[in-house]
A = this chain, B = another copy of it.
Amino acid sequence: MQRPFDIELAKLKEKLLLMAGTAEASVQNAIRALIERDSVLAEKVKADDDLLDRFEMEVDEEAINLLAMAPLATDLRAVTVAMKISHDLERVGDEATAIAKRVLELNREPQLKEYVDIPKMGRLATSLLHSALDAFVHQRPDQARLIIPADNEVDQLHKQINRELTSLIEQDKANVRRCLNLIVIIKRLERVADHATNIAEDVVYLHEATDIRHADHAE
């Protein structure tokens, strides 16, 4: 027999899944706008950010109501984790918007180079986000734990692309503005993966009642 609390919590999780889908699509669209030089799509990403902002406010309101009816300490924990996840997703929307703005600037000039590693980084970051939400909704702390080392891969890719862009700047000052825009874009992608890691850490914390945030994840 489900408690009323469980039914409401399930609804909140549904909303978070919808929110995560929106956030993921925004990042994917922002990267697609970069690769296909599609300024209309970049504008759409900027406009869609309002959606995620509204989602976050709704989740907060519903979470406060849920807290008032939460019977157990573990229930309180589940609700506070849902609020944190919603905050991370809202910030993923901010990262996508920041990428979209830089794409609009880049589209005013000829393309600097063919992009290979940036789309790869984008796919990796959004797949981590997807996997983290899935681990939350299906209560899979084991799956969440796998996300944390995978974030290092994104960091490595970020460092490598960053080095390449920095040397392109040194080669020719005509590259400066375009490279700076790309440097911002990859930094934002790296932050998308960080949000996925935050979510994964919260899922582990929720289920195993150990706080693995701020533990040293390096080998």
> How long is the Cα–Cα vector from A63 to B80 in the complex, in angstroms?
10
> How long is the Cα–Cα vector from A169 to B178 in the complex, in angstroms?
13
User: A77 contacts the other chain (Cβ, under 8 Å)?
Assistant: yes
Nearest Cβ distance between residue A100 and chain B, in whole angstroms?
17
Considering the complex, give the chain B residue whose CB is closest to the CB of A205: B60
User: A40 contacts the other chain (Cβ, under 8 Å)?
Assistant: no
A53–B214 contact, CB under 8 A?
Answer: yes
Considering the complex, give the chain B residue whose CB is closest to the CB of A90: B214
From the candidates B50, B80, B84, name the one contacting A67 in the complex (CB within 8 A).
B80
User: A64 contacts the other chain (Cβ, under 8 Å)?
Assistant: yes
Inter-chain contacts of A60 with B (CB < 8 A):
80, 211
B166–A170 contact, CB under 8 A?
Answer: no
From the candidates B64, B70, B173, name the one contacting A77 in the complex (CB within 8 A).
B64
User: A57 contacts the other chain (Cβ, under 8 Å)?
Assistant: yes
User: A17 contacts the other chain (Cβ, under 8 Å)?
Assistant: no
User: A25 contacts the other chain (Cβ, under 8 Å)?
Assistant: no
From the candidates B73, B80, B170, name the one contacting A80 in the complex (CB within 8 A).
B80
Nearest Cβ distance between residue A176 and chain B, in whole angstroms?
5
The residues in A between 201 and 219 inclusive whose CB is less than 8 angstroms from any CB of B are 211, 213-214
A80–B77 contact, CB under 8 A?
Answer: no
The residues in A between 69 and 96 inclusive whose CB is less than 8 angstroms from any CB of B are 70, 73, 76-77, 80, 83-84, 87
B76–A67 contact, CB under 8 A?
Answer: yes
* Known interface pairs A84-B87, A177-B166, A180-B166; A76-B64 also in contact (CB < 8 Å): yes
Chain A interface (Cβ within 8 Å of chain B)? 50, 53-54, 56-57, 60, 63-64, 67-68, 70, 73, 76-77, 80, 83-84, 87, 166, 169-170, 173, 176-177, 180, 183, 211, 213-214
The 8 lowest CB-CB distance pairs between A and B, nearest first, are: A53-B214, A67-B76, A170-B173, A57-B211, A169-B176, A170-B176, A64-B76, A68-B73
